[in-house]
Amino acid sequence: KQEVTQIPAALSVPEGENLVLNCSFTDSAIYNLQWFRQDPGKGLTSLLLIQSSQREQTSGRLNASLDKSSGRSTLYIAASQPGDSATYLCAVGTFTNRDDKIIFGKGTRLHILP
């Protein structure tokens, strides 16, 4: 059974620092991996989608990498800003008994200190 883990559950860093969020998954047979941002009480916003054939995706100050063989993905945030404070979720697209589905991690709650 596919499990997605995000460590740490919470992280506080000073403004301006570069940081890395980690995501691991137990079954390497995935189709894609997606990183989301969730602000308190709000919906999820997709940040980056990496297909299984890709190694990384970049959008502005965000860079996500994928290593399927080791079951890991990282989300790199450059020059962090207070507006980056949110919960970051990763999710893997996978195929179960009957159809495809997406499995979420529980998220890393990020707080950027001004």
Partner 1 sequence: EAQVTQNPRYLITVTGKKLTVTCSQNMNHEYMSWYRQDPGLGLRQIYYSMNVEVTDKGDVPEGYKVSRKEKRNFPLILESPSPNQTSLYFCASSPGGLAYYEQYFGPGTRLTVT
CB of 48 to partner 1, least distance (A): 9
89 is a contact residue toward partner 1 (CB under 8 A): yes
Residue 88 burial by CB count (10 A; 0-12/13-18/19+): exposed, middle or buried?
A: buried
C-alpha–C-alpha distance, residues 101 and 47, integer Å = 19
94 is a contact residue toward partner 1 (CB under 8 A): yes
Among 18, 20, 26, 31, binds partner 1 (CB under 8 A): 31
49 is a contact residue toward partner 1 (CB under 8 A): yes
62 is a contact residue toward partner 1 (CB under 8 A): no
Q: Can you tell me which residue has the tokens 């997606």?
A: 34
Q: Are the C-beta atoms of residues 3 and 106 closer than 8 Å to each other?
A: no
32 is a contact residue toward partner 1 (CB under 8 A): yes
Q: Binding residues for partner 1, per CB under 8 A?
A: 30-32, 34, 36, 41-46, 49, 51, 89, 91, 93-95, 98-102, 104-107
